[in-house]
Chains A and B, each alone.
Chain A
Amino acid sequence: MSELIFELSHKGRCATSQIPRRSAAKITIPAHLLRQDEPRLPEVSELQVVRHFTKLSRANFSIDTQFYPLGSCTMKYNPRGVHHLAMLDGFLNHHPLSLPVNSQGYLACAYELQEILKAMTGMQGVSLTPMAGAQGEFAGVAMIRAYHRARNDAARTEILVPDAAHGTNPATAAQCGYTVREIPTDKDGNVDIESLRAAVGPQTAGIMLTNPSTLGVFEQKIEEIATIVHTAGGLLYYDGANLNAILGKVRPGDMGFDVMHINLHKTFATPHGGGGPGGGPVAVSERLVPFMPMPIVGKKDGFYDWLTEKEYPQTIGRLSAFMGNAGIILRAYMYARLLGKEGMERVAEFATLNANYLLARLKAAGFTPAYANRRASHEFIITLKTEAKELHITALDVAKRLLDYDFHSPTMYFPLLVPECLLIEPTETETKEVLDAFADALIQILHEAKTQPELVRTAPHTLPVKRLDEVKAARELDLVYREK
Chain B
Amino acid sequence: MPFIPHSVNDIKQMLATIDVANIEQLFDEIPVHLRVKNLPAIPESLTEMELGRLMRARAHLDSELLCFIGAGAYEHHIPAAVWSITSRGEFMTAYTPYQAEASQGTLQLLYEYQTMMASLMALDISNASMYDGATALAEAILMAVRLNRKNKSNRILLPRAVHPFYQDVVRTIVSQQGIEIIEVPYDKTTGCVSLETLDEMTKEDITALVIPQPNFFGVLEEVDALTDWAHSKHALAIAVVNPLAMALLKAPGQWGKSGADIACGEGQPLGVPLASGGPYYGFLCCKKELVRQLPGRVVGRTVDSEGKQGFVLTMQAREQHIRRAKATSNICTNQGLLVTASTIYMSLMGPKGLRQVALVSHQNAQLLQEKLATISGIEFVFQMPNFHEWVIRLPKSVDVVLRELAKLKVQAGFSLRQVYPELGECLLVCATETKTAEDIEKFVTLLTSVLSLASHSNDKTEKKSNVRTYL
Contacts and interface: CB of A to CB of B under 8 A. Distances in A.
Contact of B30 (A20, A138, A218, A337): A218
Contacts of A61: 94, 99, 102-103
Interface string B102-124: 11111011011011101110101
B19 to A, nearest CB: 7
Interface residues of A, number: 207
B453 interface: no
B47 to A, nearest CB: 8
A97 B68 CA distance: 11
A102 B411 contact: yes
Given A15-B353, A81-B48, A145-B176, A328 B278 contact: yes
A286 B408 CA distance: 41
Interface in B382-419: 385-387, 402-403, 406-407, 409, 411, 414
Interface string B10-47: 11011101111001001111110011101111111111
Nearest to A272: B95
B105 A305 contact: no
Contacts of A73: 95
Interface in A121-177: 122, 131-135, 137-138, 142, 145, 166-168, 170-177
Contacts of A50: 81, 85
Given A323-B278, A361-B17, A375-B28, A275 B101 contact: no
A466 B103 contact: no
A64 to B, nearest CB: 3
3 closest A-B pairs by beta carbon, nearest first, are: A340-B45, A64-B89, A322-B277
A227 to B, nearest CB: 13
A166 to B, nearest CB: 8
Given A5-B112, A223-B31, A274-B95, A350 B6 contact: yes
Contact of A90 (B62, B106, B246, B367): B62
B445 interface: no
A469 B350 CA distance: 32
Nearest to A55: B105
A352 to B, nearest CB: 5
Contact of A274 (B63, B71, B96): B96
Nearest to A19: B353
A20 B360 contact: yes
A85 interface: yes
Given A18-B348, A317-B172, 17 more contacts: A19-B353, A19-B356, A29-B387, A33-B250, A35-B246, A59-B105, A60-B105, A93-B75, A133-B333, A145-B176, A171-B324, A248-B36, A308-B471, A328-B279, A356-B26, A428-B4, A478-B301
B347 interface: yes
A323 B105 CA distance: 31
Given A15-B353, A19-B349, A62 B116 contact: no
Contacts of B34: 222-223, 250, 254-255
A193 interface: no
Contacts of A277: 131, 278-279, 281, 333-338
A21 interface: yes
Contact of B112 (A6, A33, A246, A274): A6
A173 B327 CA distance: 11
A337 B119 contact: no
A342 interface: yes
Contact of B105 (A33, A56, A64, A338): A56
A50 B344 CA distance: 8
A239 B393 CA distance: 48
Interface in A1-43: 1-2, 4-6, 13-15, 18-23, 25-30, 32-43
A278 B96 CA distance: 11
B249 interface: yes
A349 B20 CA distance: 13
B375 interface: no
Contact of A57 (B91, B334, B407): B91
Interface in A273-295: 273-278, 293, 295
B278 A320 contact: yes
A344 B42 contact: yes
Contacts, number: 722
Interface stretch (A105-113, A230-238, A387-395, A441-449): A105-113
Interface string B123-166: 01110110111110000000000000000000000000001011
Contacts of B54: 337
A222 to B, nearest CB: 8
A278 B99 CA distance: 19
A58 B62 contact: no
Nearest to A131: B131
B69 interface: yes
B276 A326 contact: yes
A167 B327 contact: yes
Q: Which of A255, A325, A359 has most B Cβ within 10 Å?
A: A325
B377 interface: no
B274 A93 contact: yes
Given A70-B95, A271-B337, A321-B277, A40 B403 contact: no
A172 B13 contact: no
Contact of A62 (B3, B93, B300, B403): B93
B261 to A, nearest CB: 17
A409 to B, nearest CB: 6
A152 B170 CA distance: 24
Interface string B320-357: 11111111011111111110100110111111111111
A46 B79 CA distance: 10
Given A275-B297, A353-B26, A429-B5, A39 B94 contact: no
Contacts of B327: 167, 171, 174
